[in-house]
Amino acid sequence: MKIERLSSGVNVIDELLDGGVEHTVVTNFYGPPGSGKTNIGLLFTLSCLKQGNVVYIDTENGFSTERFFQIGGIKEDLKKILYENPGSFKEQAKVIQKVKKSNPKLIVVDSIVSLYRLEINKENFTEVNKELASQLAILSFIAKEKKIPVIITNQVYSVNSDEIELSGRDIVKYWSKCLVELKKVDDNKRLIILRKHRSLPEGRKAEFEITGSGIEKAKFRIF
Ligand SMILES: Nc1ncnc2c1ncn2[C@@H]1O[C@H](COP(=O)(O)OP(=O)(O)O)[C@@H](O)[C@H]1O
Ligand SMILES: [Mg+2]
């Protein structure tokens, strides 16, 4: 039986993922700032609202109602978004615990590691990494139990070979059944690459543009 998928409502992303993000697992969109992670989170949110509520955990104040309306959302939709805006990694943990009791059709965590990064240091890293793993375990459990997709985003930072951070990255990778990398090609163009998937070939890629009304397949231009 084919695993159910949630469409993004955008051809280029749905084609890459063979229909959308899978129910029952955690999908991770990662990339540098401006690569389109929040846009993708918003598009999946909008697409899912037809089916029910969405829990949107915004740790970077990246959720913009203005952008949401630009991509086709309406005021009524906002009532169906259970918006959470934790200010610390501890608050993020509480919010994720709370989600267990709700009944959403999608959970978005944008981003899973920004508050983790603020919290972690050389003294507490074992404990904080354990907490990160525990939050991801809960999200994976919810995805499986409630048969819904969970989307997390993960900012990628350029030069950082710190061992503490690397272990954090491994923890996130471990719990993500699907990994999708986003790259900024230039001001307009973005590259999306499938890096890990349970049933699709890795390395599959496409180019897209972030536009006024959402995301579109990149056009080939003659300069
Ligand atoms: N209305 C718009 N028209 C064109 N591009 C836009 C519009 N709104 C946002 N963007 C572009 O989206 C990008 C930010 O995408 P975002 O999803 O927030 O990235 P990330 O979450 O990965 O940091 C920026 O490059 C910005 O210029
Ligand atoms: Mg963002």
Q: Domains (ranges, CATH) in the chain?
A: 5-217 (3.40.50.300)
**Ligand 2 geometric centre to CA of 30 (Å):** 10
Query: Which residue's CA is the nearest one to ligand 1's atom 3?
Result: 212
Cβ partners under 8 Å of residue 133, min gap 6: 171, 175
Q: What is the pLDDT along the chain (223 residues), one digit of tens a residue?
A: 778 999 999 999 999 999 999 999 999 999 999 999 999 999 999 999 999 999 999 999 999 999 999 999 999 999 999 999 999 999 999 999 999 999 999 999 999 999 999 999 999 999 999 999 999 999 999 999 999 999 999 988 765 556 666 678 899 999 999 999 999 999 989 999 999 999 999 999 999 999 999 999 998 655 5
The C-alpha atoms of residue 12 and residue 192 are separated, in whole angstroms, by: 9
**Ligand 2 geometric centre to CA of 61 (Å):** 8
The C-alpha atoms of residue 77 and residue 17 are separated, in whole angstroms, by: 25
190: which DSSP letter? E
